Amino acid sequence: MNRFYTLLLTWLIWQPAVAQTPGTSVPLFADTAPLSLTLTTQLQILNRDRVKIPFGEKPEKHPAVLTMAGMSAPLRLPVSLTVRGNYRREAGNCIFPPLVLDLPKKRMDNTVFANQNKLKLVTHCQADNYIVREYLVYKVFNELTDLSFRARLAQITYSDTANRKQGGTHWAILLEDNEDVAKRNGARLAKQRTKAQYTDSLTMAMVGVFEYMIGNTDWSVSYQHNVNLLADTTKKRLLVVPYDFDYAGIVGTSYAIPDKHLNIESVRTRLYRGPSYSAKLLSRVFDRFNEKKKAIYALYEGNPLLEKSYIQATIQYLDEFYTLINNPKRSLRIFGPGSTDNVVIRGLND
């Protein structure tokens, strides 16, 4: 049996099922079972579309067919794909580019893609297991707050219309659209730029501590680098939602190298890059992390999609974080007033 489908079957046994009513489909992000999809397009042309689009210009749309098995009849949908991204877009960095999946609204009813229009597709860059690890980081943040991108894991078989060859089967993440994240949280995408200290304190502290937990320094509020800025329409506050975690130490990609200005040799070395906060506010944030500790660990413990050595190393990495936040003196030195970890670097300063 194909290794991918063996893993998929094992995952389905490991994960609790989501109840379905006969004749209906569970919404895309209401279930955690990986989807099995096929994308058929001109792969060579798609994979050559790596040049970053100048500001104001529209990216090229690549027609494709999305096929999904596992239903009474296979679902076949005409879709379009556009290449996106920065680092992972470049051919010298990744073997396949990240994509945007544009779905036909009128054909989505009674399918898993109902009410979806556009989805980000986080594709394989190098090793497939990096995708699974990054997916779990999204799930960790989902546990902590609704101000997060919802994600669904998928096994995608890529088929080339030009020569009928298969481009292989790889893990991918279907990621919620930016505007959908905003609407779900009663907000809109903010157009203005700001600094981290001018955003909502509680949600910003949650993001900063989370990025520290996963060992990620590759983000910036000022430059809106790997974060979305949302404007809360009722409380008139700015909210921060992080994404793109392939540079996080907890993911451990081979290509993740910290910026030289940070003075750390490995992304596994944690460095706090958020604003400093009072002990009172930090206590609220740490309480939330402690409340969700069991659920966060459960994402990793016994997960059949992960190597045992990775699970062991990740649990130890998380243990170190939880030991820190439950030590008032040590945690205040890092996150509290007068903390000195927040290094300012060009392009990533907050």
Predicted confidence (pLDDT) per residue in 242-255, tens digit: 999 999 999 999 99
* 154 closest CA partner among 4, 336, 316: 4
In the sheet with 187-189, reading across from the earlier edge strand, the strands are 187-189, 227-232, 237-242
60 or 323, which is more confident?
Answer: 323
Task: Label residue 22 by pLDDT band (50, 70, 90).
Answer: very low
What is the rounded distance in angstroms from the CA atom of residue 213 to the CA atom of residue 325? 10
Distance between CA atoms of 150 and 5, rounded to whole angstroms?
A: 24
Q: What is the mean pLDDT of residues 160-169?
A: 81
Q: Indicate the pLDDT class of residue 91, thresholds 50, 70 and 90.
A: confident
Q: Which pLDDT belongs to residue 348?
A: 54
Tell me: pLDDT of 101 over 90.
yes
Mean pLDDT value across residues 275-296: 98
User: How many angstroms separate the CA atoms of 97 and 122, rounded?
Assistant: 8
Name residue 16's amino acid.
Answer: P
Q: What is the mean pLDDT of residues 55-68?
A: 88
The fraction of the chain above a pLDDT of 90, given in percent, is 72
